[in-house]
Structure 1
């Protein structure tokens, strides 16, 4: 095994699921450290220094949401939550607690691999402190606060640019309504989702060829929005 490969901390109590995940990840070239409960997972987080965390919410000793919060207190590592809990509220709780992405069981190994790659690309972008973002024909110049489609500048408002900036920081990953509202309008407006509908609608009309079928600014129904990292 290539020791330079990313190390994934897998926190999953079900032994059958853990074996499937270990095999799938190893076949894709990842290294794996595993834990069958929250406390062991948190201990390995400190001792193994992984590159990413895969976390099941249904753990025997701790609630998965509490583990997410503890991981976020200790580290900025990307966290991918796995769960059989498919309700939107569970996704929102996990993401608001600090998870970066959410995958509902059952899922395919190809989708898992793609989500992990997206998480690590986000980390690489942050480490490089990139001043611009490009996907398809969309270019966002963060330093000059300019936005281009097919090389043509698009005029957007300061609030629209703030929304785009947050989505760029999490490109390829879902950002919850609550997070967007809190960062752009403040904590007192975290329930005012009509603000987002209005401004995201305006952005889509400016940036999308067909706003009804967006390529870049994607909706995660009931949860939030995602900026397509690879052109949609």
Structure 2
């Protein structure tokens, strides 16, 4: 199997249930060069057309690691109007299996983002208890095209995450308790990223020189 080639790992069966393609997964893990290397699974969830595939494609170009890294794109999984139950299950599955779970949001973390996160965590927690798995290991919030703060990157993200936690904690009762718990962990982080620039968002090379300067340094 050619490294970097997309592979569909989860399919819908005739009844609309989720089915893991174990043969495809085995091919990914057993291909030449992987051997007994540790496995790291990076998954990204978020609304449609918010740059998830762009991010994963960029990671593929830059990935250099002595680890077997699986990049999982849950494209369309937050289209809850299409099939809410399947969408929630797919996102919960990605959380359970991922080493790093990225929640990709636009401009700022909004209540609908937290509502989605709450639902996914609820399902992941129930299923995780049955299999002895943590609902989520590492949770990163990636806020795209941010313009609400002059401070960007990890520092701006920490400020934004602190604001989100304070907003959730001030609710009585808290509407999203599991989201608050997950976002309060030391393993949860947030990053504010500006618009990357027209050259990199419309091009196909993904080179550093195509980035706007503030995006490259964020």
TM-score (norm 2): 0.32
- Greater relative CO (CA pairs within 8 A, separation 6+): 2
Structure with the higher fraction of residues in strand conformation: 1
TM-score (norm 1): 0.31
